[in-house]
Amino acid sequence: MSVSEESAAPGWLVILPADVAPDELERLRAAAGARGWLADASRGEEQAVLALEGPRARGELDGLLAGREADVLPVLSSEHYRRLRLRRRSLALLVAALALAIAGGTLLPLASFLRPPPGAIVAPGVVRVGDVDALAVGQARRTRFQDRPVLVIRVAPHGWRAVLAECSFLARCQLEWDAERQRAVCPCHGCEYDAQGNVAHSPASAPLVRLETLEQDGAVLVRSAL
Amino acid sequence: MIVLLERGAGDEEVRAVLARMQSLGLAGTPLVAGSQRLIHVTSGRTRRARHLLPEPAVRAILPTSGPRVRREGRRFYPFHALCTSAAGLALIGALVLLAGFFPPGVSETLALGQPPPPPQWPWYLAPLRGLLELAPERPAWIGPSFLVLLGTLVLALPLLDGSSGARPRGPVRVLGMLALVALLVLGFVGGAS
Amino acid sequence: MNDRAKQAGLLHELRGALRAPLGTGRPPWLSFGWLCVLLLVLLGLSGALLSVYYLPSLDGAAASVRFVMRDVEWGWLVRGVHRWGTSLLVAGAVAQLVVVFLSGRYRGAGAGSWLLGGAMLLFVLGIAFTGELLPWDAESVALADSALSGTAAIPVLGPPLANAMRGGSEVGAATLARAHTAHTLILPWLVFLLLLLELWFLARLRRRRERAR
């Protein structure tokens, strides 16, 4: 709001407390009129308003009000009010967009947090690996059991094998299942094991640790022999 | 609330706006000051005046709750609400950073038959630990009882210090500072052991 | 029609309260007290999320915590926020008490607020401590042992108190169960009640101060 706009608009609105006495208000209006303002006043529930127009400067208003508890608002152009409304609306829109982004950023991770990951702990020592139908015959799934990586292989429609997916040679690298060749392959030194955990290709020498599996309620469970 | 009308609004337009206000449950007094024409909303749910904006004769709706508002501080919304939200977001951000860079650990379950390792007390109980370390071994009840006594003293502080005035009395303040320093020292003692 | 008018009146009042000026004193969001309230809310939420996966049994506890940290999506974040939040909460509560002490507001009319604040700090420490026990790994067991022997050393009340906390003669499943109930149910509700009392107290103080003006 530039100063030139203020002085170009000779209109002022003086807001007074609602409990101002009616004759007090009338006296103010008369005093304003005596000083050359065109004035009108009214009392309401929330406040009393004294509308003024005149060529007088803003400073003269303070003299008129004489330290009374009052707010003084300038009357501005329509263009100005339109711009103010636009600014307020765009700020509200910005805040709303930000709030939505934050809400989304919180709710989406929350949803994925609540989605049970595979390998949910069913009871201590038993891990539910997945649904029976989730794996095809010859496929394997990687999961964890008591902090160790485990490969669960479906060798037959109701036959499952679970082995510790740690290579028995040197570095204990994590094994990967090659479904085409039905082998557990170690990426470090080229060791290979078959679906039973026996060594299929050197340099490994010891077979893989086997874990007990059982099918229950359409799910595959792994129980520890660890 | 003040309904500011366009310059050159005539009596017809004023009446139309007044009629619309009545349909909204508002009452108002039209004011004329030179070329200024406005309507002071005197009663009713003044927030509904914003429905008057589409009227062609209305230039602006000026909210005015009274001069005391500006004197008494800022409103909760939008100022304080946004500030509180910003502070809250900053806090969550700090927590997320801490969680990411310093994740808490969890060690192995205690195997049967194995003796437990020496206890690691959390930092906020370190002063407690320090006090217990410094307390004499025998009789064993001195350390914990002293703690209980200390706790009661702190809670009952207002009863013990009945002074008034801007700051707590000199001796109380000194004692308080000493207590804080002692707490810190005990914390170090408790943390080091 | 009467009910609707009343409902509309309540909403109007709420809106009015939201738009009311808050006074020129220090804004509420700049105090340690509000930091603590915010942290309590965050801890409650993260705790609720963690309790979705936590298993309060001797074998399951540590395993479930490890599960949350490794396999659950964002689990590390929720647990991290929960742990760090407690540290910040304790620090904030102590800071708030120190500030109140230094400004002398604990005397006279503020005595109730001081008492409530002190009690809340104690209960928060209790929540934090029982929380440390929940993973039930080797360190938690050691902590439980140490704390219980310390409690038992208090004259007169010590041994029965320690027994009640331990849930028997040995540290075991009962201890974990009691720690879990205390941490998730009893102590948080107590703190919540104290917090409501404190807020009511502060509102009363503010009203009294305004009337005095």
Interface contact C73-A112, CB threshold 8 A = yes
| Residues B21 and B81 sit within 8 Å (Cβ to Cβ) | no
| Residues C203 and C112 sit within 8 Å (Cβ to Cβ) | no
Which tens digit of pLDDT belongs to each residue from B40-69?
A: 888 888 778 888 888 888 888 887 765 555
Interface contact B110-C145, CB threshold 8 A = no
Domain residues for the domain of B41 are 2-71
| Residue C20 placed within a domain | no
| Residue B95 placed within a domain | no
User: Which residues 6+ apart lie within 8 Å of A30 measured at CB?
Assistant: none
Interface contact A70-B70, CB threshold 8 A = no
Pick the CATH number of A3-76 from 3.40.50, 1.10.1060, 3.30.70, 3.30.870: 3.30.70
Residue C20 confidence (pLDDT) above 80: no
CA B129 to chain centre: 33
Three-state SS string across chain A, please? CCHHHHHHCCEEEEEEECCCCHHHHHHHHHHHHHCCCEEEEEECCCEEEEEEECCCCHHHHHHHHCCCCCEEEECCCHHHHHHHHHHHHHHHHHHHHHHHHHHHHHHHHHHHHHCCCCCCEEECCEEEEEEHHHCCCCCEEEEEECCEEEEEEEEECCEEEEEECECCCCCCCECEEECCCCEEECCCCCCEECCCCCEEECCCCCCCCEEEEEEECCEEEEECCC
| Residue B144 placed within a domain | yes
B193 touches chain A (CB under 8 A): no
Question: Which tokens in the block code for residue A109?
Answer: 């991770």
Tell me the chain A residues in contact with residue C75 when contact means C-beta distances shorter than 8 Å.
Answer: 113
A52 - beta bridge partners? A12, A39
Q: Is B26 exposed, middle or buried (0-12, 13-18, 19+ CB in 10 A)?
A: buried
Q: How confident is the model at residue A3 (pLDDT cuts 50, 70, 90)?
A: very low
Measured CA to CA, the distance from residue A156 to residue A138 in angstroms comes to: 7
Phi, psi for A110 (deg, rounded to 5) = -60, -45
Write down the pLDDT at residue A5: 43
Write down the pLDDT at residue A2: 45
pTM > 0.95: no
Interface contact C71-A117, CB threshold 8 A = yes
Domain holding C97: CATH number? 1.20.810.10
Three-state SS string across chain B, please? CEEEECCCCCHHHHHHHHHHHHHCCCEEEEEEECCEEEEEEEECCHHHHHHHCCCCCEEEEECCCCHHHHHHCCEHHHHHHHHHHHHHHHHHHHHHHHHHHCCCCCCCCCCCCCCCCCCCCCHHHHHHHHHHHHCCCCCCCHHHHHHHHHHHHHHCHHHHCCCCCCCCCHHHHHHHHHHHHHHHHHHHHHHHC
**Structurally, how many domains does chain C consist of?**
1
| Residues A50 and A35 sit within 8 Å (Cβ to Cβ) | no
Q: How far is B122 from chain C (nearest CA, A)?
A: 8
Q: Produce one character per residue of C129-161: b if its CB has 16 or more CB atoms within 10 Å, e if not.
A: bbbbbbbbbbbbbbbbbbbbebbbbbeeebeee
Interface contact B103-C79, CB threshold 8 A = yes
* Interface confidence (ipTM) of the complex: 0.82
C69 touches chain A (CB under 8 A): no
Interface contact A46-B68, CB threshold 8 A = no
Tell me the chain C residues in contact with residue A125 when contact means C-beta distances shorter than 8 Å.
Answer: 59
Interface contact A11-B36, CB threshold 8 A = yes
User: Which amino acid, A155?
Assistant: V
Q: Looking at residues C200-207, what average pLDDT do you find?
A: 84
Nearest-Cα residue of chain A relative to residue B27: A44
| Residues A150 and A164 sit within 8 Å (Cβ to Cβ) | yes
Measured CA to CA, the distance from residue C20 to residue B67 in angstroms comes to: 13
Lowest average pLDDT, out of A5-19, B13-27, B121-135, goes to: A5-19
| Residue B89 placed within a domain | no
Interface contact B4-A81, CB threshold 8 A = yes
Interface contact A44-B6, CB threshold 8 A = no
Q: How confident is the model at residue C40 (pLDDT cuts 50, 70, 90)?
A: very high
| Residues A144 and A119 sit within 8 Å (Cβ to Cβ) | yes
Average pLDDT, chain C: 85
Tally A–B CB contacts below 8 A: 88
Which tens digit of pLDDT belongs to each residue from C46-81?
A: 999 999 999 898 878 887 888 888 878 899 999 999
Domain holding B34: CATH number? 3.30.70.1140
Which tens digit of pLDDT belongs to each residue from B92-109?
A: 999 999 998 988 887 776
Q: How confident is the model at residue C2 (pLDDT cuts 50, 70, 90)?
A: low
Residue B81 confidence (pLDDT) above 60: yes
C62 touches chain A (CB under 8 A): no
Tell me the chain B residues in contact with residue C87 when contact means C-beta distances shorter than 8 Å.
Answer: 123-124
Task: DSSP letter for C116, please.
Answer: H
| Residue B148 placed within a domain | yes
Q: Of B157, B146, B144, which Cα lies nearest the Cα of C98?
A: B157
Task: DSSP letter for C213, please.
Answer: -
Measured CA to CA, the distance from residue C66 to residue C37 in angstroms comes to: 29
Q: How far is A224 from chain C (nearest CA, A)?
A: 13
Q: Of A18, A21, A10, A76, which Cα lies nearest the Cα of A49?
A: A18
Three-class secondary structure of residue C80 per DSSP: helix
| Residue C6 placed within a domain | no
Q: How far is A49 from chain B (nearest CA, A)?
A: 7
Q: How confident is the model at residue C205 (pLDDT cuts 50, 70, 90)?
A: confident
CB atoms within 10 A of CB B133: 13
**Structurally, how many domains does chain B consist of?**
2
Interface contact B72-C23, CB threshold 8 A = yes
CB-nearest to C141 from B99, B110, B176 is: B110
The residue extents of the domains of chain A are: 3-76, 82-115, 121-223
User: Which amino acid, C186?
Assistant: I
Q: Looking at residues C108-129, what average pLDDT do you find?
A: 91
| Residue B85 placed within a domain | no
Indicate if the alpha-carbon torsion angle C195, C199, C204, C205 is positive or negative: positive
> 99-128 in C: which are within 8 Å (CB) of B?
101-104, 106-108, 110-111, 114-115, 118-119, 122, 125, 128
Tell me the chain A residues in contact with residue B95 when contact means C-beta distances shorter than 8 Å.
Answer: none
Write down the pLDDT at residue C48: 96
Interface contact B42-A44, CB threshold 8 A = yes
Measured CA to CA, the distance from residue A147 to residue A87 in angstroms comes to: 56
Q: How far is B20 from chain A (nearest CA, A)?
A: 19
Domain residues for the domain of C82 are 31-212
Tell me the chain B residues in contact with residue C213 when contact means C-beta distances shorter than 8 Å.
Answer: none
Interface contact B80-C29, CB threshold 8 A = yes
Tell me the chain A residues in contact with residue C67 when contact means C-beta distances shorter than 8 Å.
Answer: 119-121
| Residues C79 and C66 sit within 8 Å (Cβ to Cβ) | no
Homologous superfamily assigned to A121-223 = Rieske [2Fe-2S] iron-sulphur domain (2.102.10.10)
| Residues A14 and A71 sit within 8 Å (Cβ to Cβ) | yes
| Residue B135 placed within a domain | yes
Touching partners of C (3+ C-beta pairs < 8 Å): A, B
| Residues B101 and A103 sit within 8 Å (Cβ to Cβ) | no
Touching partners of A (3+ C-beta pairs < 8 Å): B, C
CB-nearest to A124 from C49, C60, C71 is: C60
